[in-house]
Structure 1
Amino acid sequence: MAVKDVGVGVDNEEAPAVTVAVVYHSVHGHTRVLAEHLAEGARLVPGARVHLVEVRAEDVVAGRWHDAEVLALLERSDAIVLGCPTLMGSVSAVFKAFMEAAFTPFVTQAWKDKLAGGFTMSASQSGDKLAVLEQLAVFAAQLGMQWIGVGDMPGNNWSGGSRDDVNRLGSWLGLMSQSHADQGPEQAGSRGDLITARRYGERIARLTQRWVNAVPYETDRMTEHEARALSASLRSAGMEAAGTEAAGA
């Protein structure tokens, strides 16, 4: 199945519902791990129903992608998060086929004013990942969507930093992660990347609740010093502490 229902946010009995779809393509499984952590972060938000949607190579025929079930789900979603690996400085060919298949919601404006975000993975520290996030953001803009960036301060930019820091690659347009080329998906990204993915997913879901249902949202603000302290505390904490509320941020 291309679609996996991750479930509804915790303690959601009194919370209004929103739907967040995390749409991704993964070649070797590394980007899938990033998508799963982002989805888990979104699921921390009460009332958020989260779907993982895999764009598969086998759904591309003669260069064209089509999946009516997926397109119907995305039309019902309140937020759509887009992700794929960075390959040769661009989105993957399979994900580009998905993007081109969005011509119908483009002409009907079916996705207009939905919220959007993006993420990408590469083996190199840079790998020109910014080019992919820009492609995804332009795609969302053409569909009339409202883009949400990463809200965390940069990590690993000082002598006491670590690859396990939150936002260790210092990306704000969207989520960036890096995996070593000789390691499998079980070692995808760094711990800091996966924590950042969960925090980004939670941020998107909370802003979706605010956008759709006017649920109050208290903006998380911190100084660079406070951000460094947060990264240090999360290095020794469990992954369950990766959310903004659980981390005390």
Structure 2
Amino acid sequence: MLVCIVYDSGHGHTQKQAEAVAEGVRRAAGAEAQLIAVADGNIPWDRLAESDAIVFGSPTYNGTVSARLKKFMEDSTHPTWVRQTWRNKIAAGFTNSGAQHGDKLNSLITLALFAAQHGMVWVGLDLFPGNSPEEPNRIGGWLGAMAQSDDVSTEISPIASDLETAAYLGLRVAETVARLQPVAA
């Protein structure tokens, strides 16, 4: 099983979250995770078409996804949307912002709508919101994993519970793919 994590990261905080998603994917038996940074250019459209799931991630800037991730979304029109090569793939999303709320929900809605337009099946979180900064899903997202990062080194922020939430999302995506794959005879 292949799960691709397509993400953008302005200062490394969302990349750290993407790496946590990949770690969660790898917790599932037989699951492979591939990180694809849109800032690197040269998107491997064929690899994305081969994947069983795609998890999208972006920092939340000005209440929505980053310009680079938006460009990726627009660039996907010909290689994927027109041919519907992502149809019925599992999709999920994550985002990060400097503010505790920071309008992150709008970024997740943008990602979910993008996935819906490609005919993908969206997987959200099934984690009840934590009651303290030490608990997973402390921000209380259901549509995807949310993190908050201070303007400090990625060694400090995002905090462990936000990274564990992202890892949980990765595992949930991989487990969902495994449940939906046909059983070999």
Normalised-by-shorter TM-score class: over 0.9
In structure 2, C-alpha distance between the alignment counterparts of 1:46 and 1:114, rounded to whole Å? 19
Q: Contact 1:78/1:212 (CA < 8 Å) preserved in 2?
A: no
Structure 1 segments of 4+ aligned residues over 6 angstroms from their partners: none
Pairing 1:149–2:138 present: no
Cα 1:101–1:166, aligned 2, differ >3 Å: closer, same or farther?
same
Give the CA deviation at 1:109. Answer: 0.8
User: What one-letter code is carried by the residue in structure 2 that aligns with 1:207?
Assistant: T
2:54 equivalent in structure 1:
80
In structure 2, C-alpha distance between the alignment counterparts of 1:147 and 1:30, rounded to whole Å? 24
Pairing 1:165–2:135 present: yes
Q: Which has the larger radius of gyration?
A: 1
In structure 2, C-alpha distance between the alignment counterparts of 1:203 and 1:184, rounded to whole Å? 28
2:103 equivalent in structure 1:
128
Give the CA deviation at 1:212. Answer: 2.0
Cα displacement string for residues 84-104 of structure 1 (whole angstroms, at most 9, x for unaligned residues): 100010110011000001102
User: What one-letter code is carried by the residue in structure 2 that aligns with 1:172?
Assistant: W
1:32 equivalent in structure 2:
15
1:94 equivalent in structure 2:
68
SS at match of 1:87: coil
Q: Any residues of structure 2 matched to 1:143-222 within 5 Å, and which? A: 143-156=118-131, 162-181=132-151, 183-214=152-183
Cα displacement string for residues 167-205 of structure 1 (whole angstroms, at most 9, x for unaligned residues): 100100011000112x12112212111111111111100
Give the CA deviation at 1:78. Answer: 0.5
1:117 equivalent in structure 2:
92
In structure 1, C-alpha distance between the alignment counterparts of 2:183 and 2:75, rounded to whole Å? 32
How many residue pairs are counted as aligned between the two chains? 183
2:6 equivalent in structure 1:
23
In structure 1, C-alpha distance between the alignment counterparts of 2:155 and 2:9, rounded to whole Å? 14
In structure 2, C-alpha distance between the alignment counterparts of 1:20 and 1:214, rounded to whole Å? 19
In structure 2, C-alpha distance between the alignment counterparts of 1:19 and 1:118, rounded to whole Å? 16
User: What one-letter code is carried by the residue in structure 2 that aligns with 1:120?
Assistant: T
Give the CA deviation at 1:213. Answer: 3.5
Tell me which of the two structures has the higher relative contact order, counting C-alpha pairs closer than 8 angstroms and 6 or more residues apart: 2
User: What one-letter code is carried by the residue in structure 1 that aligns with 2:94?
Assistant: F
In structure 2, C-alpha distance between the alignment counterparts of 1:119 and 1:42, rounded to whole Å? 14
Gaps of 5+ in 2: none
Task: Give the fraction of aligned pairs with identical amino acids, expressed as a percent.
Answer: 45
RMSD between aligned alpha carbons?
A: 1.3
Q: Contact 1:45/1:202 (CA < 8 Å) preserved in 2?
A: yes
SS at match of 1:21: strand
Pairing 1:46–2:29 present: yes
Give the CA deviation at 1:214. Answer: 4.6
